[in-house]
Amino acid sequence: MTRIICVAGARPNYMKIKPVMDALERRGVEVVLVHTGQHYDPSMNDVFFRDLGIRTPDLYLGAGSGTHAQQTGRVMAAFEPLLDELTPDAVVVVGDINSTLACALVTAKAGPLLAHVEAGLRSRDWSMPEEVNRVATDRVSDYLLAPSPDAAENLRAEGYREDQIHVVGNVMIDTLLANLDRARQSDVLDRYGLTRGGYGLVTLHRPANVDDPAALGGLLKALGEIAERCPLLLPVHPRAAERLADVGVPGGVRLVPAAGYLDFIALQDSARLVLTDSGGIQEETTALGVPCVTLRENTERPITVEEGTNVLAGTDPERILATVNRVLDDPPAPRCPALWDGRASDRIAEVLLAGGSADTRPRPTDLVPTGAGTAPQ
């Protein structure tokens, strides 16, 4: 029997790994779920496992928090002996968190085939730790499982071979579509006294937005002005709670506890618009046809702007306000990219079970140089 390890470590991973596990198990694969423990707060972990019906992890590494180096190192040290013991045929990592890179590096050195789900996404912003994780994980992976054609083009431009690149669609949308009816049965709108189309939904968690008091203050100023036209609901990410309290939240912006998966999908689905700095929410709103304003200067998911409902507003308060007013006056027409159809995980399983060997791993001579002494652009 084929044995495949699936790795998850934090909230952004759970929605991506569940459909892949299901698709592999339907095909008779022995799936070992490894949770690195990068997220361990119940609001970021337990409720998502329960909402998504993810089984208890087979192994829990307990990585915890810390600096990027500490967290990555702890995951690597814990994952290496586990890999030696289990001798899997392949390892699947998803997304771009520290756990993704840590387990990818260990796997590449140990020898099993390595598959990266969401390969090829690029923001080209090297100040984002996630960008470093994405590029490094792709570089050591055998299977590059891209969610969209633009991601595949990024990989081709970086010199990867065509036989490594597979455009499979978006696993986040597999999970969204599988759970949408359940989410719409949630009573979260009643709990908060909301009506469909009567509020905006906000999420803030990226360090560039919440760790700098001046940057956060500017964002909150803009949100306060937007709230005069459209009341805003802001589920508080644990890492942002204290900083929001320190800066002060303007009137019209209502703070609520972090939401579970089903409640949050229900809140997105019924919002007049969503303001976010999250990559995954750009994708979910596109699939739901809900206008999204991204509070960042760049996005690794440009397809949500080109073919979806997402608008990139940056972080300047005046630009944000002008963008939101434009979106409220003339919402973008709902559009959904090709292959965001709920079957990405099946395509992934078919790729992984089609065969191959660790000898397919890219070597430096296979790759087009990106420039002496410079990071790939």
360: tokens are 């397919």
Grouping H, G, I as helix, E, B as strand and the rest as coil, residue 6 is strand
C-alpha–C-alpha distance, residues 24 and 345, integer Å: 8
Burial of 277 (0-12, 13-18, 19+ CB in 10 A): buried
Alpha helices in 192-273 (DSSP H): 207-210, 213-227, 238-247, 261-270
Q: Which residues contact 294 (CB under 8 A, 6 or more apart)?
A: 275, 276, 277, 282, 310, 311, 312, 313
Residue tagged active-site, from 35, 68, 116, 205:
205
Strands 232-236, 143-146: pairing is: unpaired
Helix (H, G, I), strand (E, B) or coil at 117: strand
Distance CA 321, CA 324 (A): 5
Rg (CA), the chain: 20
Residue 281 structure tokens: 């929410």
Annotated active-site residue 205? The verdict is yes
Residues acting as catalytic residues:
205
